[in-house]
Amino acid sequence: MHELSIAKNIIEIAEQHARQEGAAAITKVALQIGTLSGVVPEALEFAFEAARVGTMAASAELEMEIVPLICSCGDCKLEFTVEDRHGIALCPKCGKPSSDIRRGRELAVHSLEVV
Amino acid sequence: MAEVRTIGLSVLTDKNESRGRTIEVEKGVLSRNQELADELRKRFGVHGILALNFVSSPGSGKTTLLARTFTDMPDVRAGVIVGDLATDNDATTLRASGAETVQIMTGGVCHLEASMVSKAVAPLPLEELDLVAIENVGNLVCPAAFDLGEDLRIVMLSVTEGEDKPLKYPTIFKSADVVILTKTDLAEAVGFDRSAALENLRLTAPGATVFEVSARSGEGLSDWYDYLANRLGRAQ
């Protein structure tokens, strides 16, 4: 359950940016979460609800954009999206497993909505 | 910036309706951890230290393998940072192997973060060490997200856990530079399907170097020691 420490980081980053912009409250936090980020969206949602209490994001909604795993084949140089839930990244052209991860590890605060 | 402020003021004067505005942030949630990890990596680099982050389930043999490795490689000056929820048993075992050992008791936290490692390295005599091993909290989920400044992430899997572990925990296995299959002396007794395990690793972690060892019987350890010696810039 490392999502709680991640939720605290999210709120810290959000409050810092909201304050810089002179906002009174945060109404929405938009995240980008890669399928290989190690974060379970449901667990993060739960943790965020607990972590936001008493902060500028106390009534903020959480928006999560899930970034799929995209790999590149070492031989074919083809970039492809991995659908496999075990993260097995087989090149659709030559069938070779790829370890060259191009996207899917994202764990970022994309934007905020504030008032 | 000026435009944003104008909108902000209009919110204050508009009593009937609060109009929100959007702030672009584009900041990594773990960017602070990343900064600290990069600082650690630099510090280890300055001292020519090979830094290893050992991740596995609880009970897969991290402490046993590390203690045996340092006993068998006495000329490698090693420091160990060991994360544990509540006891210092592992630190006691590791100290007996001759390694300088620092215990981090996480008090319930399920993974190590770079800030904890930064504090823990303080008492280690880095200028005298060749290698720093970080023994993460036993957990195949949470440690995946946290860079600790290591050169190599080493994920361990004991034969008693079953050959499908890489399929169940792809995030951690896909982040591994090295995978060590441990307790191979028990493989037959527990009906471990070795070829299925290796195939699962080939599919999920094709870039990882794989070792098969038993820290009890000594089987396979020489390959692991050769690899370490090589990474330390010494031929065995």
Angle among Cα B30, B157, B104 to the nearest 5 degrees reads 50
Is residue B77 included in any domain, yes or no? Answer: yes
Among residues B136, B201, B203, the alpha carbon closest in space to that of B162 is found at B201
Q: In which domain, by residue range, is B130 found?
A: 31-231
Residue B6's pLDDT is: 34
Query: What is the DSSP secondary-structure string of A56-72?
Result: TTTT-EEEEEEEPEEEE
Please check whether residue B219 is in contact with residue B184, taking contact to mean a CB–CB distance below 8 angstroms: yes
Structure tokens at B154: 């080493």
Question: Which segments of chain B have a pLDDT < 70?
Answer: 1-19, 235-236
Residue A73's pLDDT is: 96
Q: What was the ipTM of the complex prediction?
A: 0.89
Residue B11's pLDDT is: 42
CA B234/CA A75 separation, integer angstroms: 32
Helix extents (H) in A28-98: 41-51
Number of domains in chain B: 1
Please check whether residue B174 is in contact with residue B205, taking contact to mean a CB–CB distance below 8 angstroms: yes
Within 10 A of B189 (CB to CB), how many other CB atoms are there?
Answer: 10
Is residue B15 included in any domain, yes or no? Answer: no
Please name the member of A2, A14, A31 whose beta carbon is closest to the beta carbon of B145. Answer: A2
Is residue B82 included in any domain, yes or no? Answer: yes
Residue B115's pLDDT is: 94
Is residue B109 included in any domain, yes or no? Answer: yes
CATH match for A3-114 among 1.10.3720.10, 3.30.2320.80, 3.30.1490.20, 3.50.30.10: 3.30.2320.80
Packing angle between helix A41-51 and helix A3-20, nearest 10 degrees?
A: 60
In total, the C-beta contacts within 8 angstroms joining chain A to chain B are 117
| CATH number for the domain harbouring residue B41 | 3.40.50.300
Alpha-carbon dihedral of residues B200, B206, B210, B212, nearest 10 degrees? 10
Q: Is A15 exposed, middle or buried (0-12, 13-18, 19+ CB in 10 A)?
A: middle
CB–CB of B8 and A107 under 8 A? no
CA B8/CA A101 separation, integer angstroms: 41
Domain boundaries, chain A: 3-114
Structure tokens at B103: 């215990």
Residue B181's pLDDT is: 98
Question: Which segments of chain A have a pLDDT < 70?
Answer: 1
* A-contacting residues in B 110-149 (Cβ below 8 Å): 110-111, 113, 141-142, 144-146
